[in-house]
Amino acid sequence: MQYQSQAVAKPYFIAAIALFVGQILFGLILGLQYVVGDFLFPEIPFNVARMVHTNLLIVWLLFGFMGAAYYMIPEESETELHSPKLALLLFWVFLVAGALTVVGYLAVPYATLAKMTGNELLPTMGREFLEQPTITKIGIVVVMLGFLYNVGMTVLKGRKTTVSVVLMIGLVLLAVLFLFAFYNPHNLVKDKFYWWWVVHLWVEGVWELIMASILAFVLIKITGVDREVVDKWLYVIIALALITGIIGTGHHYYYIGTPTYWLWWGSIFSALEPIPFFMMTVFAFNMVNKRRRNHPNKAATLWALGTAVMAFLGAGVWGFMHTLAPVNFYTHGSQITAAHGHLAFYGAYVMIVLTMISYAMPLMRGRAAANSNKSQVVEMWSFWLMTVSMVFITLFLTGAGILQVWLQRYSEDPQPFMVVQEKIALFYWMREVAGVIFLIGLLLYIASFFVGRNEPEAVAK
Amino acid sequence: MPPSDADPGPPEGQGLAVAAETLYLVNLLLVPGVAFVILLVLYFRHRASAPALALGHLQQTVAASLWAGLLLILVNGLILWLGGYDRASTWMVLLLYFVSCHAALVLLGVVGLARAMAGKPYRYPLIGPRLPTGN
C-alpha cells in the first residue's frame, strides 16, 4: 500500500462482504418461498425478503465502489486522501442508516415504515429497488456528496489519470442520477420512465464506467502493461458503453405507454449493448497475455478475467436474449429477466468489487503483494464455487423462464400464473440447491481471509 | 545498429493471425457464412506460405468454425427434429443449448483473438487440431 490513507477502504470492504452474506441469506429464503409459499410467513413475507435481498445488493455494491475509490484515488493521484476522517465518518453514517433501514423493513409493515419516516412530506417510497424511506434516500445523497467531495479534492490536488477521471465521471453521474429517485410523478408512465433513469442508467450506464476503471486499475497493477495501452481501451469501452447504454434505456419503454418509436430505438441500441462487454473481455485477456510481469496474486488475476467473462455472459448475452421488442413482448418480467439479472449483477458488479478486494485487501493487511498460496487456493475455490453455481442458477431460471413464457403467454391455451409456477417448481428447487452451493462458496471466500495468515507470501513464478 | 531494448515490432504473421480470429468471431456474431468463406479464402491462399503463428491461428479458426457449424446447426436441427417443433420442452432444451454453446464458442474466440494480438499461438480446447511446428 503506497499511501496510508488508502486504509480507509478496509472497513468499506468488510461491510460490503458482511452485507453480501446478508443478501445471499435472504436470497435463499426467497428461493425457498418460491416453492414453500408460507416459509417464514408471516415473520418475513415474500415482498419483504425480496426488498431486503435487492436493497442489500445495491447497498453493499455501493460500499464496494466507495471502498474501491478510496483505495484507487490516492494511488492514481499520487497523494494522500483529502480527509480520511471524513471517509470514516461517512462509513459509519452509511452503515447505520443502511442497517436501520433493513431493520425497519423487517420490524414493521412497509406502510407503517412509510408513515414513521414521514414519507407523506416527500413521497418517494413504494417503487421497486427504490423502496428506501425518503430519509434514507436523503442520507444516501449526503453520504455521496461527502464522498465525492473527498475523492474529488484528492483528484484535484494530485495527478489526473484516465482511470481516475473515468472513475470520477462514473461516481458523479451515479450520484446525479440517484436524484431521480426523488421524482415521483402521479402519472404511472412518467413514473416508470424516470424510474429507469436511476435503475437502468446506473447498471447499464454509469456503473459500467466504474467497473471499467476498476478493471483497468487492477489490470495495470497485475500485468504491468503500459498505461497508454490501457487508456486507449478504456476510452473505447466507455464510449461504447454510453453510446449503447443511454438510448438502450429504451428497451424498458416497450408497451408501457411511451411512444412506439421506443420499440425501434430500444431494440437497436440495446442490441448493441453487448459490444462494450465483449470489448472488456478482449481487453482483459489481451492485457493478461501481454503482461510484463507475473504478479503473485493469482486470485486477483482470476477475478479480473472472471469479471470480464461473466459480465459479457450475464449482461451481454443474457441481456441480448430478450432485449428485442418482439421477444420482450413475451418474456417481459418472466424468469428469463430474473436469470439475466442474477448473472449480470454477479458478473459485472459483484465480481468487480471482489476483484478489487482480492487485489487490495492483502496489501492493506500488510502483505507486500499477495496472500499466501494456501489462502489463494481457498479464494480460487470460492471463485469457482460461486461462479459455477451462479451459472447454474442462471441456466435453471432460464429454463424456468422459457417454460413459463410458453405455457403462460405463448401457447394457444395460456395457463394462469400460479398454475405455471407449480409446473416449473422443479427448476426453483434446483436453483435453491445451486444457491446453497453459492453460499458455501461465499463462506469459503470469507475463510480465505483467515486461512494461511501465518504462512509466507506467495511469490511470482 | 538499433539499441538492444528497442521494440522488435510485431511477430511475423501476427496480422494474419488476428484477421483469422476476427473472422471466426464475425462468423459467429455478425455475418455467419460470409465471414467463414473469407476465412477459407485466407486459409487456402496462405496455408503454404504463412508463418507458423499465422498458420496456427488459420488452422485453428477454420477447424473451430467447422465445429461451430456442426454444434450450432446440426445439433440444434437434431434437437428440433427429435423433440418436435410444437413442444415447450424442445424449445427449452434448444434455447439453453444454443445460447450456452454459442457463448462458449465466442469466448474461445475472444481468448484466441487476445492470444493473436499478443503474438502467441492458441489451440482451441477440444475442437482445435494440433498446432503446427514452430509455435
Q: Domain residues of chain A, as ranges?
A: 1-160
Whole-prediction pTM value?
A: 0.95
CB-CB: which of B91, B102, B114 is closest to A402? B91
Q: What are phi and psi of B131, to 5 degrees?
A: -75, 145
* Predicted ipTM of the assembly: 0.91
Q: Do B118 and A290 touch (CB under 8 A)?
A: yes
**From the CA of A262, how many Å to the nearest CA of chain B?**
24
B-chain CB neighbours of A406 within 8 Å are 88, 91-92
Name which of B92, B106, B117 is nearest A402 (Cβ-Cβ). Answer: B92
Give B110 to chain A, closest Cα distance, Å.
6
Judge: B110–A402 Cβ closer than 8 Å, yes or no.
no
Chain A residues in contact with B95 (beta carbon < 8 A): 398, 402
Assess contact for B114 and A282: CB atoms under 8 A.
yes
Taking a contact as any Cβ pair under 8 Å apart, which residues of chain A between 346 and 365 contact chain B?
A: none
- Cβ contacts of B114 on chain A, cutoff 8 Å: 282, 285-286, 288-289
Q: Digits of tens for pLDDT over chain A (461 positions)? A: 899 999 999 999 999 999 999 999 999 999 999 999 999 999 999 999 999 999 999 999 999 999 999 999 999 999 999 999 999 999 999 999 999 999 999 999 999 999 999 999 999 999 999 999 999 999 999 999 999 999 999 999 999 999 999 999 999 999 999 999 999 999 999 999 999 999 999 999 999 999 999 999 999 999 999 999 999 999 999 999 999 999 999 999 999 999 999 999 999 999 999 999 999 999 999 999 999 989 999 999 999 999 999 999 999 999 999 999 999 999 999 999 999 999 999 999 999 999 999 999 999 999 999 999 999 999 999 999 999 999 999 999 999 999 999 999 999 999 999 999 999 999 999 999 999 999 999 999 999 999 999 999 999 87
State the nearest Cα–Cα gap between A402 and chain B, in angstroms. Answer: 6
B117 vs A234: CA distance, rounded Å: 17
CB contact under 8 A, A398 and B114: no
- For B118, the closest chain A residue by CA position comes to A290
Q: Which residue of B has its CA nearest to A403?
A: B88
B118 chain-A contacts, CB cut-off 8 A:
286, 289-290
Which residues numbered 49-88 in B keep a CB inside 8 Å of some CB on A? 88
